[in-house]
Amino acid sequence: MSLKWRILYFLARCYWRIFKPLTLGVKLMLIEDDTIWLVQHSYQPGWFLPGGGVKKSEDFETAVRREAREELGAEIDEMQLFGIYSSTSTSRNDHVVVFVSHKFTIGQTDKEEIRAVQQFALGQLPPDVSRGTRRRIEEFVNGRNQPEVGIW
């Protein structure tokens, strides 16, 4: 893992613990046939749905398209809302809006932030996939097709 990104992530976690700001993020499930694209960040171990923070004055759709381009070089054609989730882990007060897309193209990744990008079979996820990511994928596999509000 990149030392620079690990230090920045550590400092961000310290900030969240002290100030407890409200944060807003987006995640994207890129589903192709019976596979999903996941990313490994340079600052924390494990596999995650691509995504990130929503910038000031940015709407959710713009944010998720930007994050897809930054992390996977992906261009999204169509997407649907999958759910809105609250996360209070790692001392955050974080809210995550998750989208799903079946129509997209994958390009070049951001080599500094993203260590790896890989496609996995929906039924064969890696053992170190994050808990929230695993839950969202399992909900998708189990046929949930209406957006929900819940805990990340």
Task: Kindly report the pTM of this predicted structure.
Answer: 0.83
Secondary structure class of 98 (helix, strand, coil) = strand
CATH number of the domain where residue 129 is located: 3.90.79.10
Task: List all residues 6 or more positions away from 18 whose beta carbon is below 8 Å from its beta carbon.
Answer: none
At CA 61, angle to CA 112 and CA 92, rounded to 5?
A: 60
Could you list the residue range(s) of the whole structural domain that residue 85 is in?
Answer: 3-151
Secondary structure class of 35 (helix, strand, coil) = strand
Can you say how many angstroms the Cα of residue 42 is from the centroid of all Cα atoms in its chain?
Answer: 14
First vs last C-alpha separation in the chain: 25
Digits of tens for pLDDT over the chain (152 positions)?
Answer: 577 777 877 877 777 666 666 789 999 999 999 999 999 998 889 999 999 999 999 999 999 999 999 999 999 999 999 999 998 765 567 899 999 999 999 998 767 789 999 999 999 999 999 999 999 999 999 998 788 888 87
Q: Residue 66: in which H helix or E strand, if any?
A: helix 60-72
Please count the structural domains in the chain: 1
